[in-house]
Amino acid sequence: MKQLRKAVLPVAGLGTRFLPATKAIAKEMLPVVDKPLIQYSIEEARAAGIEQFCLVTGRGKTALIEHFDIAFELEATLRERNKKEALASLKQAAAVPGTILSVRQQEPHGLGHAIWCARAFIGDDPFAILLPDDLVLAETPCMKQLAEAYEQTRGNIVAVSEVPREHTNRYGILKIGRDDGRLVEVKGLVEKPAPEQAPSNLSIIGRYVLMPEVIDHLAQMERGSGGEVQLTDGMARLIGVQPFHGLRFEGRRFDCGDKLGFLEAQIAFALNRPDMAPGVRGFLKKYGV
């Protein structure tokens, strides 16, 4: 079994739900407290032992790569002013040379197409996928939980959570087999089914560990839900051929592609920091919270 060392981050989206804020700024650069969404994803992947990263980008997304570069002038200024804490935060974000690359998804043909664009990077290796819109607050990082489950199951695995039955048409939904309360055998996948047709209420969130064979299926460019190349359809072709499980991860997931979810994440992550929690609780009281 090959170790999990690669991650793909699809970040080519336009962020239209956050316009006008995202007119000139990539949505993945929007900060939660003091770090952009993309940095949370990279740090989560690093905590799982992942060493190589591929960002699937689009036009106007160069800031995502630059964020992980070394800013020599800024660092020099911080040293001169003895801003040790700020300098340390930059060092934390910087990438080891040669570990982050980007490829372009020139046209928006869906998540499956975005992953296919990273095929040369993936090669014959297992790989993780992290969607930065999904932010998970957990004692053990979500991707580390998935990596540990991958070592146990030796196959494809996706992070899952229960959603209200009436919301199944917003997510990829699992048809399940054996279920031990944590790991769920995946017998089928359906993209955004109507509530009355959903095989369960277990939805996939934006964390995956997949075998490279999924690329062969995505390369067929078959159009699924919404007329797009769906990752869910490619993954479904692996069921019954390779081990495939869902993991009920421990932690709280925030949908930062949604305005309310993004605002909730700001509060939750601030309250999780000892340096900020007292102040946040103080101003929340002003609003009767």
Q: How far is CA 25 from CA 30, 64, 109, 269, in A?
A: 8, 10, 22, 22
Distance CA 103, CA 121 (A): 9
Confirm whether 285 is domain-assigned: no
Under 8 Å between Cβ of 195 and 255:
no
- Helix, strand, or coil (residue 48): coil
Confirm whether 43 is domain-assigned: yes
Confirm whether 278 is domain-assigned: no
Structural domain range at position 209: 6-257
Domains held by the chain: number = 1
Confirm whether 277 is domain-assigned: no
What is residue 11's predicted lDDT score, i.e. its pLDDT? Answer: 94
Q: Give me the tens of pLDDT residue by residue for the chain, a chain 289 residues long.
A: 789 999 999 999 888 898 898 888 899 999 999 999 999 999 999 999 999 999 999 887 888 988 898 888 998 999 999 999 889 888 888 888 889 999 999 888 889 999 999 999 999 999 999 999 999 999 999 999 999 999 999 999 999 998 888 888 888 889 988 988 899 999 998 888 888 888 898 999 999 999 999 999 999 888 877 778 889 889 999 999 999 999 999 999 999 999 999 999 999 999 999 999 999 999 999 888 7
Confirm whether 274 is domain-assigned: no
* CATH assignment of the domain containing 74: 3.90.550.10
Under 8 Å between Cβ of 187 and 241:
no
